[in-house]
Amino acid sequence: MKNLQSTEEFQELAKKPAAIFMFTAGWCPDCRVIDPILPDIEKAFPDHTFVSVDRDQFIDLCIEQDVYGIPSFLAYSNGQETGRFVSKDRKTQAEIEGFISNLPK
């Protein structure tokens, strides 16, 4: 998974046909539980660009995007938000894959 480098990069990647942003933090135990399953999720959705957004590094972006709980996922297509899986709760592989599968095509 690619790590976001700048807010400008977020804007550019959001313009891709299918981008999934995972908002996370190094200190977040629920985020660390997801880490081992992310490669499998990425393999299951090869047409998506997956990007990790460090909440502490991009707090202003989190506020702008109304992301207050982590881990959280935002989906974008061609510059438009197409879905969000935002909460402070731990997420399972099935829940994450279900979220991506149900995004508008």
Active site residues: 28, 31
Alpha carbons 51 and 34: distance in angstroms, whole number: 14
3-state SS class at 75: strand
Q: Which residue type occupies 52?
A: S
CA 78, CA 90: separation in Å to the nearest integer?
A: 28
Contact in structure between 78 and 17 (CB atoms under 8 Å): yes
**3-state DSSP call for residue 10?**
helix
